Structure 1
């Protein structure tokens, strides 16, 4: 979710020994475990899911401390948005797994009568999960839960950009989970490259589009299916006639309260009308100050920028000459602490850097239009976002937004919270991603849906066998098209 695999740090000397040969050996070892049938049993899957729950429960402080080191992430965000959501995924999988693994009965047609059929979910095999740094626990363990629930052997590659969390995950997974079938590989580019050179049964990657293309190219060499959870510029359309205080509080919580904007589904820019923009800006200023005080750089309730490279990237966006006079709030920064205050800009040029890159930080441009309906064309003129949001009380506008805006997901009158609904798939479309997960969709992402048809030896019709005749042709044609009366007429010799 977001910008993964950038600003990589050198791997340690110990990690550097993990090369293509070591990766090949690891995959071979896990494939042997998978072929033994170890991971297929319902009991093994449940045992591993319960172990993840215990791991998160018993080592909450270790994880919270690691997230504080990597991102200065507030304890509430770490406990609720990382560990809490992982435990929620475990709970859903444990509750529903018996239903998920049960074969799905399906109908058959005249062409195979008499027969019965079902769809069997089987594990794919040995899968690779490459996670991101911005939610380094959630984005690592959530897909792992799906892979385990589906009965796979798993290699997890955490992000080296969150090294403390990566180290904690490696230690805890080794302690709590079955190491014969589930492993963690730490490291940076060399280790990831070695892993991608192997043949996997599925690769799940969370990060940015640039590395997503590298992952997809590596997977193509082995015809390996992929899930790509990428990013994009997620728009927020704000209509007039709404509860403005509630709307702005939700926007702030989903922007700066979600890892200080370093979230793939956070608000990347707002579109509202020229007339309504001043009211919106005033409300945002008031609520930001209420949340983070008059000196937000000193607030303990807001995360820092992950590292100096991302700090420099964000500084470059906001310091561009053509937008330097567009800042209406914020803009303060502290290079030493890697903090940038919540920053609002109004009417930035469409060709500015900030409008042509995923921001992934605390900067929020506001674009204005004459009529709110103009926002739809503006959104659709850009690559498909991972999420799109609309605040309105207008029923017709809601319907038009859902029907006309193409995005990975849509939330009306809130932002980011659709991630918490496990009955909804989470994934992108177009450049924002490929495939989806969460809840049963995670189980499905790591399963093969195997078609199974059952027939007996009775009712064997000679119609399908040579010698072929025109009568057989008429009858079989009616059968395969489901035309039961046509088949009867052909059997009776009626024209």
Structure 2
């Protein structure tokens, strides 16, 4: 649909001002509508994801469709509780009184999505925006056109279009949207575009959530169940959209002594998963487009990593496929170690002692995710304590995203703000402080003219000591 930003904002503001989106019943109806989309149009969603990413049906269902339906069901179960004011304690200074925190919607919000999980990453923030009682515009990624078109069609068919709208398009349309004043902007994508979003939001002092990326490390100790660890690394790296996932392991750190054993195990399990020629596997996703294919081959063809490929390296531009590839000890100044890979290439770095991995991670920008594989509890404690990352998983990869009670978000260069479950509701809510008092308990000490006795009363109240308060009030 053509983008008339002025008309869109006018209608959304009118709907929000009417109070309709604030009601529990409206929020529930829209969340149930999203569930209907996932159940009634599963085949359409799978086909759109296959068209955009050559995504296997299994990955489309498990990573995208189920993620939305389960999130909606979780929110529906908890929503009434989240909407209730939260009672909090008061102090002697305000006695007698009561206080509460009221969650209120922010207003009219904008969600700008990305292409690698174009169904899930478009609708998950929308769930939070609706649950919190906002009107919302979704801008899907034009890089996944089939899914973008399907989202526009289905949300227009199932949702309240006076409060939930989808606008397709590329940079010009996004620029038009960013020129408007929003009550919050939620962006998923690259740090480069994130800075553009932040600059546009600053003009209107609009709060933002930035879900970005970074180079997420996986530290692999020798004290592990090697087969299980390797299977989980492969699942998180190559089984998650061919590495085109913001929390995919971007590189591995292991010891020099263990590296050959790890490489052999990775090769063996990869063959079990994808066969001797993974390029022919129907279970292995394609690269999204020729631009990203060329970007990845540039990383692979860098002369600084030439000769360091220990398996993989095959590429097929016609079908936009690059085989699962590992590079051993890529130099720190190589392209692949200075850019987020976002694809099926996996550098494996080696250290003398596994404890040295922590310093190596901390020498880089804070990642969106960090993974550790070990049975050593002391190493686990040191890793959790000393590595800063958006989120972590111990002895697995990616799976922390599936826990609705955990926040998902970045830190530093990997973004800020968090969502999923209650954290999505909070991301699109304002926490309003409310103090309730009666006309009782009014004391002269708070009012001029001031004198030493009034100051003594105030000091006693601030101390919280009951005996001191009584003495000050009654002059004992």
Instruction: Report the TM-score when normalising by structure 1.
Output: 0.95
1:49 CA drift (Å)? 0.3
Q: Distance in 1 between matches of 2:165 and 2:412?
A: 31
Q: Distance in 1 between matches of 2:191 and 2:464?
A: 45
2:18 aligned residue (26, 33, 36): 36
Instruction: Render the CA deviation track for 1:366-410: whole Å, top value 9, x for unaligned.
Output: 000000011001101100000000000011111110010000001
Matched, 1:178 2:155: no
1:167 aligned residue (132, 149, 163): 149
Q: Distance in 2 between matches of 1:25 and 1:198?
A: 11
What SS is found at the alignment partner of 2:123?
helix
Q: Distance in 1 between matches of 2:462 and 2:244?
A: 54
Matched, 1:193 2:186: no
1:364 aligned residue (346, 365, 375): 346
What SS is found at the alignment partner of 1:119?
strand
Q: Distance in 2 between matches of 1:43 and 1:481?
A: 46
What SS is found at the alignment partner of 1:321?
coil
Q: Distance in 2 between matches of 1:390 and 1:75?
A: 29
Q: Distance in 2 between matches of 1:366 and 1:206?
A: 27
Aligned counterpart, 1:341: 323
Matched, 1:252 2:234: yes
1:352 CA drift (Å)? 0.3
Aligned counterpart, 1:440: 422
Matched, 1:282 2:264: yes
Aligned counterpart, 1:409: 391
Instruction: Report the TM-score when normalising by structure 2.
Output: 0.99
1:424 aligned residue (406, 419, 429): 406
Aligned counterpart, 2:247: 265
What SS is found at the alignment partner of 1:463?
helix
What SS is found at the alignment partner of 1:279?
helix
1:474 CA drift (Å)? 1.5
Aligned-residue RMSD, C-alpha: 0.9
1:308 CA drift (Å)? 0.2
Instruction: Render the CA deviation track for 1:248-307: whole Å, top value 9, x for unaligned.
Output: 000000000000000000010000000000110000000000000000001000110000
Q: Distance in 2 between matches of 1:106 and 1:346?
A: 55
1:489 CA drift (Å)? 3.3
What SS is found at the alignment partner of 2:304?
helix
Aligned counterpart, 2:365: 383
Q: Distance in 2 between matches of 1:432 and 1:267?
A: 14
1:228 CA drift (Å)? 0.3
Aligned counterpart, 1:5: none
What SS is found at the alignment partner of 2:110?
strand
2:199 aligned residue (194, 199, 217): 217
* 4+ residue segments displaced more than 2 Å: 480-494
Aligned counterpart, 1:126: 108
Q: Distance in 2 between matches of 1:44 and 1:482?
A: 45
Aligned counterpart, 1:227: 209
2:85 aligned residue (99, 103, 106): 103
1:487 CA drift (Å)? 2.4
1:491 CA drift (Å)? 2.7
Q: How does 1:306-317 map to 2 (within 5 A)?
A: 306-317=288-299
Q: Distance in 1 between matches of 2:373 and 2:294?
A: 33
What SS is found at the alignment partner of 1:366?
strand
For these two proteins, the number of residue pairs brought into alignment is: 476
Aligned counterpart, 2:472: 490
Matched, 1:207 2:189: yes
1:291 aligned residue (270, 273, 277): 273
What SS is found at the alignment partner of 2:111?
strand
Instruction: Render the CA deviation track for 1:70-93: whole Å, top value 9, x for unaligned.
Output: 000000000111000000100111
Matched, 1:48 2:48: no
Q: Distance in 1 between matches of 2:299 and 2:454?
A: 72
Q: Distance in 2 between matches of 1:163 and 1:375?
A: 40
Q: Distance in 2 between matches of 1:485 and 1:84?
A: 60
2:62 aligned residue (74, 77, 80): 80
Aligned counterpart, 1:454: 436
